[in-house]
C-alpha cells in the first residue's frame, strides 16, 4: 500500500505551480493511484465484476414505459475503495444510453469500452478505504441476453410487463453493477409504472404512491444480495401478503395469465409457506426478511430462478401452480446459493446440488421415493452423464446435469458416509457459517471434514474433483 506522503504533496504543488499538471494527478501518480481491474477474476466470466472497490448498496430508481418498453433510470451505488483508485469500472451491457455520471456529486468522465465496461474517471482519486457514491443516469430499452450455452437472462419482456432474471449474468442489462457473485450489497428500488401495473422486487415493500397516471412502488432489500439474484417484476399480479405458520412474512404474486385455477393465488401462497417452514426445520433459521414467490407467464423463459427472498417461476404457458418439488428446490436455494453464494461460478454445485437434494428430501419426508431410491435411479440410469468435473464444470456447463443430479448424488454420499445425525447437523451448520457471504468447494470440503471428524478425501476426489462414474 502506498500512502500519500508530504513529499509527494510538495512535488505536486511545485508541478501545479509550474502549470504542468493538476496537483492531484501528480500526487496520485506518486501515491500509486491506479485503475481498478475491469474484471473480478472469475475464470468462466472474465468481464464480470470489477476490481478496486466494494459495492455496499444500490439505490435503483426506474420509470417503466409500457408503450415503448423503455426505462428511464438512475442508479446510486455506495461503495468503498479497496485500493487507491484513479478510475474504476461498472458493468453495463447492451443498448442503454448513459446520460451522466457523478462521483460524490461531482461530474465524472465516463466511457463504454469492451463487452460491458462503463469506465468512470472521478475528478479526484479515491483513497483506499474511502466511501464514495456513484450516480449514473441512463435510459433505453434493456436488451436481454440469449447466450448459446446458458440461455436467456437479464431484463426479459413478459406478455404484460417485464421480469429481471440474471443468473449468471443479466443484471448489467438493466443497471450499472459490480456484477460479481463475491460483491454482495443491499438494495432499494423505486419503480414507477403505469397505473394498474404492479411491481415486485427483492426484500419488503416500503410504500406505494399513485400520481396521476403512474404508480411508484418502493421495495427495500436489507440483506446482502448477489447481483445475479436481484429481481424486479412488473405486470398484473394477484399479490398475497401473509405470514407462514412459523411467522415469516410471505409475499407471493400470481400472474392471472399464468394459472388456470381460481384458487391459484391462495394455493401458491400456502404451498410456499408450508415448504419454507419445512425447510427451516432442515436448514435452520430462514436468512431473509420475507419469503414468497412470483408465478409469471414469460413465454421467452420457461425456467425458475431462486431470486433472493422471492423466487420467480417463469413459465411458457398457463398451467397449475409450481409443484412442491420445484418449490422445495427454489426455496432450498435461499440457504444454498442466496445466503451462501459461490465465490466463483465453478462452485455452483454447492447451490444446485443442495437445491436438488431439497427435492429428494421433500420426496423422502412426504411419502415419496427416498433419497436412496432417487440416488440409485440416477446412479444406474444410462442417461446420467459422467463426463466433466462437478467442482469445475466449465463455463458452458454450469447448468448441466452434473451440477444438479451428480452434485445431489455427492451430497447423498456424504450423508451415507457420516450418518444421518451428523449430516442433518451439517446442513444447518454450513449455511449458518457462511450466511450473507461466499464460499468455495475447498471451504465446503474442509468444513465438512472438520465438522463431522471424518476423512472424506476419497469421496470428494471421486465425486467432485474427478470425471467418470465413481465406484460405490
Which is nearer to Zn ion, 348 or 422 (by Cβ)? 348
Q: How far is the CB of 45 from Zn ion (least distance, A)?
A: 18
Minimum CB separation of residue 329 from Zn ion in Å reads 6
**Minimum distance of Zn ion from residue 55's CB (angstroms):** 25
**Separation CA 293–CA 254 (nearest Å):** 8
With respect to Zn ion, which residue has the nearer C-beta, 125 or 337?
A: 337
In whole angstroms, what is the distance from residue 194 CA to residue 417 CA?
A: 56
What CA–CA distances, in Å, run from 120 to 83, 103, 126, 404? 15, 9, 12, 39
**Angle at CA of residue 356, ends 424 and 42, nearest 5°:** 100
Pairing of strands 249-254, 291-297: parallel
By CB under 5 A, residue 144 contacts Zn ion: no
d(CA 424, CA 414): 11
Q: How far is the CB of 355 from Zn ion (least distance, A)?
A: 4
Minimum CB distance to Zn ion, residue 200 (Å): 20
**Cβ closest to Zn ion, residue 53 vs residue 313:** 313
Pick 102 or 329: Cβ nearer Zn ion: 329
Pairing relation of β-strands 238-243 and 249-254? antiparallel
Q: In terms of CB distance, is 334 or 452 closer to Zn ion?
A: 334
Q: Which is nearer to Zn ion, 178 or 307 (CB)?
A: 307
Smaller CB separation from Zn ion, 295 or 352? 352
Closer CB to Zn ion, 408 or 414, in the complex: 408
* Shortest Å, Cβ 399 to Zn ion: 9
**Smallest distance, Å, CB 319 to Zn ion?**
19
* Contact residues for 19 (Cβ-Cβ < 8 A; gap 6+): none
Binding mask 363-402 for Zn ion (x = CB under 5 A): ----------------------------------------
* Least distance between Zn ion and beta carbon 102 (Å): 38
Q: Helix or strand or coil: residue 274? A: helix
> Which residues in the 210-249 window bind Zn ion by CB under 5 A?
none
Cα–Cα dist 234/112, whole Å: 28
Residue 179 cell numbers, joined: 456484477
Q: Could you give the CA distance from residue 174 to residue 164 in angstroms, rounded to a whole number?
A: 8
The nearest distance, CB 322 to Zn ion, in angstroms, is 13
Task: Please give the grid coordinates belonging to residue 451.
Answer: 465438522
Supply angle C-alpha 95, 96, 97, rounded to 5. Answer: 110
Which CB atom, from 258 or from 355, has the smaller least distance to Zn ion? 355
Query: CB-side exposure of 392: number of CA atoms within 13 Å?
Result: 8
Position with the least CB separation from Zn ion: 355
CB 231 within 8 A of CB 312: yes
**Least spacing, CB of residue 275 vs Zn ion, in Å:** 14
> Is the distance from CB of 90 to CB of 98 less than 8 angstroms?
no
Q: Which is nearer to Zn ion, 91 or 352 (CB)?
A: 352
- Contacts of residue 370, defined as CB under 8 A and 6 or more positions apart, other chains included, come to 363, 364
Total residues in contact with Zn ion, by rule CB under 5 A:
2
H/E stretch holding 81 reads strand 71-81
Query: Looking only at residues 39 through 58 of this chain, which bind Zn ion when binding is defined by CB under 5 A?
Result: none
| Residue 65 and residue 72 in contact, taking contact as beta carbons nearer than 8 Å | yes
Contact set for Zn ion, span 318-357 (CB under 5 A): 352, 355
Using alpha carbons, list the distances in angstroms from residue 258 to 152, 239, 240. Answer: 19, 14, 16
Backbone angles phi, psi at 452, to 5 degrees: -100, -5
Instruction: Please give the residue ranges that form the binding site for Zn ion (CB under 5 A).
Output: 352, 355
Amino acid at each position: 500500500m502506498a500512502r500519500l506522503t508530504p513529499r509527494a504533496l510538495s512535488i505536486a504543488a511545485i508541478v501545479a505551480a509550474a502549470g504542468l499538471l493538476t496537483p492531484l494527478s501528480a500526487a496520485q501518480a506518486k501515491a500509486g493511484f491506479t485503475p481498478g481491474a475491469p474484471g473480478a477474476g472469475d475464470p468462466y466470466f472474465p468481464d464480470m465484476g470489477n476490481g478496486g472497490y466494494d459495492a455496499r448498496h444500490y439505490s435503483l430508481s426506474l420509470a417503466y414505459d409500457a408503450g415503448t418498453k423503455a426505462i428511464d433510470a438512475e442508479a446510486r451505488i455506495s461503495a468503498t475503495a479497496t485500493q487507491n483508485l484513479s478510475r474504476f469500472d461498472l458493468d453495463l451491457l447492451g443498448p442503454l444510453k448513459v446520460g451522466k455520471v457523478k462521483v460524490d456529486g461531482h461530474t465524472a468522465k465516463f466511457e463504454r469500452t469492451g463487452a460491458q465496461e462503463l469506465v468512470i474517471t472521478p475528478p479526484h482519486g479515491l483513497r483506499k478505504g474511502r466511501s464514495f457514491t456513484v450516480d449514473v443516469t441512463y435510459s433505453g430499452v434493456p436488451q436481454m441476453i440469449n447466450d448459446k450455452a446458458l440461455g436467456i437472462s437479464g431484463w426479459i419482456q413478459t406478455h404484460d410487463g417485464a421480469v429481471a432474471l440474471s443468473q449468471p449474468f443479466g443484471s448489467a442489462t438493466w443497471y450499472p453493477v459490480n456484477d460479481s457473485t463475491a460483491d454482495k450489497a443491499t438494495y432499494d428500488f423505486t419503480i414507477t409504472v403505469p397505473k394498474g401495473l404492479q411491481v415486485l422486487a427483492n426484500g419488503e415493500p416500503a410504500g406505494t404512491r399513485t400520481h396521476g397516471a403512474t404508480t411508484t412502488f418502493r421495495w427495500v432489500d436489507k440483506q446482502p444480495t448477489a447481483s445475479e439474484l436481484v429481481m424486479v417484476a412488473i405486470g398484473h399480479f394477484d399479490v398475497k401478503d401473509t405470514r407462514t405458520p412459523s411467522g415469516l412474512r410471505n409475499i407471493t404474486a400470481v400472474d392471472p395469465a399464468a394459472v388456470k385455477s381460481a384458487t391459484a393465488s391462495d394455493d401458491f401462497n400456502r404451498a410456499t409457506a408450508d415448504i419454507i417452514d419445512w425447510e427451516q426445520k432442515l436448514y435452520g433459521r430462514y436468512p431473509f426478511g420475507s419469503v414468497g414467490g412470483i408465478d409469471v407467464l414469460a413465454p421467452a423463459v420457461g425456467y425458475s430462478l431462486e431470486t433472493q427472498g422471492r423466487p420467480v417461476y417463469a413459465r411458457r404457458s398457463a398451467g397449475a401452480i409450481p409443484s412442491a418439488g420445484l418449490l422445495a428446490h427454489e426455496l432450498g436455494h435461499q440457504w444454498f446459493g442466496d445466503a451462501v453464494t459461490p465465490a466463483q461460478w465453478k462452485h455452483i454445485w454447492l447451490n444446485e446440488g443442495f437445491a436438488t437434494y431439497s427435492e429428494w428430501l421433500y420426496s423422502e419426508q412426504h411419502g415419496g421415493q427416498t433419497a436412496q431410491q432417487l440416488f440409485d435411479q440416477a446412479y444406474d440410469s444410462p442417461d446420467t452423464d459422467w463426463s466433466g468435473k462437478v467442482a469445475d464444470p466449465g463455463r458452458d456447463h454450469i447448468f448441466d446435469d452434473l451440477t444438479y443430479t451428480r452434485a445431489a448424488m455427492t451430497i447423498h454420499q456424504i450423508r451415507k458416509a457420516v450418518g444421518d445425525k451428523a449430516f442433518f447437523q451439517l446442513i444447518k451448520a454450513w449455511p449458518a457459517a457462511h450466511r450473507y457471504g461466499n464460499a468455495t468447494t475447498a471451504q465446503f470440503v474442509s468444513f465438512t471434514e472438520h465438522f463431522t471428524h471424518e476423512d472424506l478425501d476419497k469421496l470428494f476426489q471421486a465425486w467432485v474433483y474427478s470425471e467418470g462414474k465413481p465406484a460405490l
